[in-house]
Structure 1
Amino acid sequence: MIFIFFLTLFITVSLAADQLYPNQCLNQGEYLTSSNGCFKLIMQTDGNLVIYRNSNGNALWSSKTARTCTNRICMQGDGNFVTYDCANDATWAQELQEMKEVL
């Protein structure tokens, strides 16, 4: 539930250029930044998905998937937000329910 809260904060401030659409992925090292520059969602090279507050660099939330060979996160067409590892196995998932069209 904490994830949904922080994700909602992130999405609320996003514009089209800052969104992840169904069937799009973020690979290791790629990120989305909110339009006002306050938040960053990054798929880190260690496999952890993290939301940061840019003003102080503090992590607000993480998927706790570091060191799992997780290499990308995808917004699936069915509304699931899923991390995948090197073998293409899901390592973490969250159904976004109301946010099925865009992140």
Structure 2
Amino acid sequence: DAYVRDRGAVYKAAQDKPLYAGMLSSVDESLGRLRRALSAKNLSARTTIVLTSDNGGLASGKQHYAIKRRIPTSNAPYRHGKTWLYEGGIRGPLIVHAPDRE
């Protein structure tokens, strides 16, 4: 694994979790099925879809490096992760698809 040091903490340089990637792919496929079903029932024009998640992963920390534990995820390019008040710990994704309203 590649790691980056910054301000006394160590970060994983890239996300390399195939199971996590598979889960994201599954969400993407499910969203596609949902949109097709809404369209087939002529509900697309009246439906707002909202996707969100929790804040960043367990991406950094001096304790991981000190005890030589593997840092589990990457929040790159943001600094730190959960429990920190830096970008990597407070940002949360939000995607909204709303039809045009007249």
Q: TM-score range by the shorter chain?
A: under 0.3
Q: Structure 2-normalised TM-score?
A: 0.27
The structure with more strand, counted as a fraction of residues: 1
The structure with more helix, counted as a fraction of residues: 2
Q: Structure 1-normalised TM-score?
A: 0.26
Higher relative contact order (CA 8 A, sep 6+): 2
Larger radius of gyration: 2
